[in-house]
Chains A and B, each alone.
Chain A
């Protein structure tokens, strides 16, 4: 039996660019380059490793990358395909503009179900919304276990196991497939696409789906269907320029004066 892995990847504005909001208070995607969220590269990497492990053991596996996003989100899919994923699914619909996390989880859950899955792999959080809750929502919607925030993951005998490094403890987790996992940036460096991979990606299938294909009504998603509303967004005032001194032997003393003046010591 082939292990069907679906990797959810998000197309995000470059974090090192000048990110800001559009007039409708959604993320402005015009002025900043977009890319595959760096934290989702770790998800692609772990999915590829799990698939490669299966193939080495004589079993089969197939890795599908899935994104919900605008036209340009295809770039994120291409990147994941050039890393080695087998095929891609792009959910794209004008009515999706401004969807909140509850709506996004609905769309992803329907698309995952339509694609067919044994294992869903997500990143730990996106680099724009940074909520870190979508994997848990997918698990709730799909009715399958969540095995999230893993720094180590493996799949064997119809089970997924992994290590979750929490605030208070490190936990070893285990769940039966099908399941939703998310992996952290501690799970292992993601590979760079090879030249061969980039060429091969051009021939890999990218399936486009819209809301109709997923039996979702337009009013369940988008800005209008959102269960949250952003009232205003303001640029944080630049921090007032501080005092900068060059250490010529007195730097520590000067800094101590400052800290004492602020009542820290």
Chain B
């Protein structure tokens, strides 16, 4: 069977969930070969193998952390040349998309970004994209070269499919352009202890209706009772009530959880762009005319400061 390269998104060898989804999708097309750059390949390998990686190509070098994007492109290209895969799959993070695009150009291949599903087809993999703020669904193919496709988080349920997953060292020669952009300093984001926004099964988001940074505890308390991640509208972020890393929408994160709860959010098109593909949508808004109610499976017209605390208590009580 043909091999499919899967670019591994990880933190020091802790594999992030979207990579497991990619391995699952890759198996529809061929045998997944994982590409692991940076420290921790040996600890990552067990997880990668469990989810179907037949092989793990690993490279570690200071360049990956010291310079932006290009060293990783050099390495992924080396893996591409070593394997001659049927497709290259990369998680749709901001950096993942940049790496994928540069690789595509180098290998003379077309690129599709932000796929939400992937199937094998007669003339190569068929990618489903959700476009125009999720108002349309398109199906596309790469028609030249080895398809390079970036896939959004929550596009598939990871399925275990144990394979060999042997670690092999990948020799990488860095090009002269690889040191063009220096990473002078890096401040890791502090963990909130809550699930990652893009990976969470449940997201609770607050908007302008939350009316102040101090009131966001109402959102956080419900999120914690549900084991959910916390999101925010741009209005809430721009007001300085919640960090930008939590913004949901066109210029924030795009989420596709099992359950999305919007509180005090009107439902502007740019917000919808980031949450409309959620499986179940719930809104609490005091304006019954708010456009968010057009999207919901369940809506409560009411004051979020009344509804959310009571709901939090209900959830805690039912969960025991």
Tell me if B250 is interfacial: C-beta within 8 Å of chain A.
yes
Q: Which residues of A contact B (CB under 8 A)?
A: 15-16, 19-21, 25, 39, 100-102, 105, 124-125, 127-128, 130-133, 135-137, 139-141, 143-149, 161, 164-176, 179, 184-186, 226-236, 239, 242-247, 251-256, 258-260, 262, 264-265
Given known contacts A242-B297, A244-B293, A251-B306, A265 and B143 CB-to-CB distance under 8 angstroms:
no
Interface residues on chain B, number (Cβ under 8 Å): 89
Q: For A185, what are the chain B residues with a Cβ–Cβ distance below 8 Å?
A: 251
Q: Smallest CB-CB separation from B254: which chain A residue? A: A130
Chain B residue contacts of A172, Cβ below 8 A? 183-186
Q: Binary interface profile of B, 281-320, with partner A (CB < 8 Å = 1, else 0)?
A: 1101000100001111111111100111111011100110
Tell me the nearest residue of chain B to A189, going by C-beta: B238
How many whole Å from A186's CB to the nearest CB in chain B? 6
**Cross-chain contact of B186 among A21, A170, A253, A265 (Cβ < 8 A):** A170
- Tell me whether A235 and B69 are in contact (CB under 8 A): no
* Closest 10 pairs between A and B when the two form their complex, measured CB to CB: A247-B302, A227-B110, A145-B180, A252-B310, A133-B101, A256-B314, A227-B144, A136-B98, A228-B110, A244-B299
Q: Are A226 and B110 in contact (CB under 8 A)?
A: yes
Residues of chain B contacted by A258 (CB below 8 angstroms): 282, 297-298
Does residue B93 face the partner (Cβ distance < 8 Å to A)? yes
Residues in B neighbouring A130, C-beta threshold 8 A? 114, 131, 250, 273
- Selected A-B contacts with CB under 8 Å, 21 pairs: A15-B269, A19-B135, A124-B251, A132-B94, A136-B69, A136-B97, A136-B98, A140-B105, A146-B70, A170-B187, A174-B181, A229-B140, A233-B138, A236-B134, A244-B288, A245-B299, A246-B302, A247-B300, A247-B301, A255-B284, A259-B259
Chain B min CB distance to A172 (Å): 4
Chain B: CB-nearest residue to A237: B137
| B62 cross-chain contacts in A, Cβ below 8 A | none
In this complex, what residue of B is CB-closest to A105? B105
Given A136-B101, A247-B301, A258-B298: A168 and B188 interface contact (C-beta under 8 Å) = yes
Q: Contact check: which of B114, B306, B314 meets A247 at CB < 8 Å?
A: B306
Instruction: Kindly state whether residue B100 has any CB partner on chain A within 8 Å.
Output: yes
Taken together as a complex, chains A and B put the C-alpha atoms of A12 and B106 apart, in Å, by: 28
Cβ B183 vs Cβ A253 within 8 A? no
Which of A20, A101, A136, A173 lies at the interface centre, i.e. has the most chain B CB atoms within 10 A of its CB?
Answer: A136
Chain A residue contacts of B280, Cβ below 8 A: 262, 264
Residue ID in chain A nearest B315 by CB atoms: A265
A255 CA to B143 CA, complexed, in Å: 48
Known: A15-B270, A128-B132, A169-B186. A101 touches B302 (CB 8 A): no
Residue of B nearest to A258 (CB): B298
B225 closest partner in A (C-beta): A265
Does A242 lie within 8 Å of B226, measured CB to CB?
A: no
CA distance A140 to B103 in the complex (A): 9
Which chain B residues border A255 with CB–CB below 8 Å?
A: 282, 284, 298, 300, 307, 311, 314
A131 to B102, CA, bound (A): 13
Per-residue CB proximity of B115-140 to A under 8 Å, as 1/0? 00000000000100011111111111
